[in-house]
Structure 1
């Protein structure tokens, strides 16, 4: 993250949330992280996005960096609940942009139906989720399909892969429909041939306390 002055962070924090500024401590306990954690408790997605954008403008950091911190805060808050949820009560939502440019998959009721061609990482991910016993893994052409999948299949938990801003929006969808959420951020954004860290994703998929 860009280095920002404590005075700017505290000034922005006070303006956005009208709370007293605190001295910088460890990164996870810094003034800016405390503000992000407070935003993460907000229930309305549009309000949270607005506050993150407002804070980014005031302290001079990129919005993407604050979205990433927000996702980390949400993941930590939900991790224990996610880990205690059986694999067969979890789903995985993948973005269509992980597909190869010449992907042969066709659209079905719940998104692209992988042909296991091996041209991208999706087949590998699906293999892992099937071995673990996940309820389903879906390659979505757009975020709007996520609600349909959750309402129809009624999973208890969902792990999404996306860019940081989409994960912020996804976390609110999970709250709205009562699903425990976790998010893994893409290493490379874009419309096609995006990249996810498979090691990080598989660790997130396997986490459990049962």
Structure 2
């Protein structure tokens, strides 16, 4: 067993399972996908640490516990279509691709997106497609989606993105208020998203997901 395989097993045993994430598809995906392949070369040694890993200014790969608990709350199924917003170098898309039918990995940072495309291809992930474009606009032409997973902080969810969720579809994101964050999961019912608290976590707010601030003179 390679050093990274050992670390992957330790990540699941020490960070994922103790967080009450026990669904087989999640455990299987997180044991299978080579997390170290989806980080910058100089960050490989930190790939399995229990903290958010910086990929670019203001952009992170969510810590394993946060991502696993989001997946647990979303309960992604094998026939579903997922929009992965802010997919960075593609790790989240690769894990989701293990569990879903198709994953649209949306990334607006062009260098991250082109590298993600190369890594996913190299790692043999055939059912995830990388699109480059503004995160806040989503990817309406491929929607609506059964699941939307947002890989970063959200102060305000853009309406354009919310509208791409199917009826009875689920969305998860890290809702940020100042330095405090909570992961909330929403379900679209009768055209509206009903939110529920899931757990505490933090992440940098994604571009286009900031609260609009009204300035008064």
Q: Normalised by the size of structure 1, how large is the TM-score?
A: 0.31
The structure richer in helix per residue is 1
The structure richer in strand per residue is 2
For the pair shown, the structure with the greater C-alpha radius of gyration is 1
Larger relative CO (CA 8 A, sep 6+): 1 or 2?
1
